[in-house]
């Protein structure tokens, strides 16, 4: 039972580790930087555009 629970936890952690957190990092001319989470409203326009660019470069 303990072994099964440990295995499940390990599988879960491994899957979580492999998933890249979507985000957008912006660096401004004044030296400041903000990191926007991928599920935020500001990133909702930027992330699909970035995906398009990555697919275009690979096509």
Interface residues toward another protein, by CB under 8 A: 19-30, 34, 36, 38, 42, 45-47, 49-59
Measured in whole angstroms, the distance separating CA 23 from the mean position of its chain's CA atoms is 5
Measured from the CB atom, is 8 or 34 closer to another protein?
Answer: 34
Name the minimum Å distance from CB 13 to another protein. 17
Give 11 or 52: the residue with its C-beta nearer to another protein. 52
Taking only Cα atoms into account, the Rg of the chain, rounded to an integer number of angstroms, comes to 18
- CA 51 vs. chain centroid, Å, equals 12
Shortest distance (Å) from residue 43 CB to another protein? 8
Q: Phi, psi (5° rounding) for residue 18? A: -75, -15
């Amino acid at each position: 039972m303990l072994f099964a629970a440990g295995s499940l936890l390990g599988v879960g952690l491994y899957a979580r580790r492999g998933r890249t957190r979507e985000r957008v990092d912006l660096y401004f001319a004044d030296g400041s930087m903000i990191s926007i989470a991928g599920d935020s409203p500001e990133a909702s326009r930027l992330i699909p555009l970035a995906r398009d660019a990555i697919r275009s470069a690979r096509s």
